[in-house]
Amino acid sequence: MDAITRMRCFIQVVESNGFSAAAREMGRSKALVSKYVGELEDELGVRLLNRTTRQVSLTEVGGAYYKEAVEILQRIEDLQTSVQSSHQEVRGRLRVSAPRSMGDDILNRAMMHFLVRYPDIVLDLRLEDRIVDLVEEGFDLAVRVTELEDSSLIARKIAPFRTVLVASPETIEKHGEPKVPADLASRPCIIDTNYRFKQNWAFQNDGEKLSVTVRGPLEVNSAAAAREAARCHLGFLRTPLFFVQDDVAAGNLVVLLEKFEEPIRGIHAVYPHRRHLSGKVRAFVDFLVEWYGAGQPDC
């Protein structure tokens, strides 16, 4: 039995939360699925799953192996599907969920270019700052900036996501440059309420998490309005770098406290099925990877 088949069995057991359910899903016997997973553990020389009479759970090394195995099989299946469906038409309704803060600017531009390239697509784009249930609510995929915890979803990273602290040169001159995150507690801050931290801004120092409660003249659920407030010298702003990178390049805004930034996360395209991915979903995900990789060209 080849390693890929053993790997598939292991992943299915994890995602089905048990050998019986995995066997039903794969159309195999429970004994055979258990045999394949056992052979995989023997081959690796480690225990991947803790087994009880009622449930299975990942060991620490099993969790790490699972994440890598999912990515490996995803790349293999992407390659196979790409070859098999290279002629598949890209058409029909595409339902996409994305954060409103991204749709305010960069994602909107990407969508327009996508529709120009694929005129037979009808895009149903829902911009809202909540985690939708893709299957229950009928979405084809979602664009998310978050740690991914749902193992039933497939995620493809489309771009890095860096959160920065910025202010205009005039703001820095008037209020002084903060040297450590705690300095922000006594300075005017612009609060974008779309983001999870809201008034409690998160930083880190040598791996240790820090949180600073801030206040200021504006609280708004619009990244565009928050950016404009920073341009107008109303205070310090915590925001994604991609949203202010043009202003930073032009010198209108300055990045501050870089050594205290949180680790860089990722923007992901998330969808519910690994197999038989439709041409429209694959085309959209590939387009986003291309778009962000090219630096988001203007219309």
- pLDDT digits 0-9 by tens, 132-169: 888 788 889 999 876 666 566 788 888 888 899 999 99
Residues 77 and 192: their CA atoms lie apart, in Å, by: 40
Residue 297 has pLDDT above 50, yes or no: no
The structural domains of the chain, with segments of one domain joined by +, span: 3-84, 92-157+266-293, 163-260
* 42 compared with 75, residue with greater pLDDT: 42
Q: Contact at 8 Å (CB) between 194 and 206? A: no
One-letter amino acid at 122 equals V
The length of the chain is 299
Same fold, 3-84 and 92-157+266-293: no
Average pLDDT over residues 280-298: 80
- What per-residue confidence (pLDDT) applies to 104? 59
Residue 275 has pLDDT above 70, yes or no: no
Give me the percent of the chain exceeding a pLDDT of 70.
89
CA torsion, points 165, 192, 161, 73, in degrees to nearest 10?
Answer: 160
CATH 3.40.50.1010 correct for 163-260? no
pLDDT tens figures, 45-87: 999 999 887 788 999 999 999 999 988 888 887 777 666 554 4
- What per-residue confidence (pLDDT) applies to 147? 60
CATH 3.40.50.300 correct for 92-157+266-293? no
Residues 283 and 100: their CA atoms lie apart, in Å, by: 22
* pTM > 0.75: yes or no: no
- What per-residue confidence (pLDDT) applies to 127? 85
pLDDT tens figures, 17-41: 899 999 998 889 999 999 999 999 9
pLDDT tens figures, 121-135: 999 998 887 788 887
Burial environment of residue 177 by CB neighbours within 10 A (0 to 12, 13 to 18, 19 or more): middle
CA torsion, points 166, 170, 172, 176, in degrees to nearest 10?
Answer: -160
Q: Domain 3-84 is in which class?
A: mainly alpha
DSSP per-residue codes, 264-296: PEEEEEEES-SSS--HHHHHHHHHHHHHHHTT-
Q: Contact at 8 Å (CB) between 193 and 219? A: yes
pLDDT tens figures, 197-255: 789 999 999 889 999 999 999 999 888 899 999 999 999 999 988 889 899 999 999 99
pLDDT band at 299 (very low <50, low <70, confident <90, very high): very low
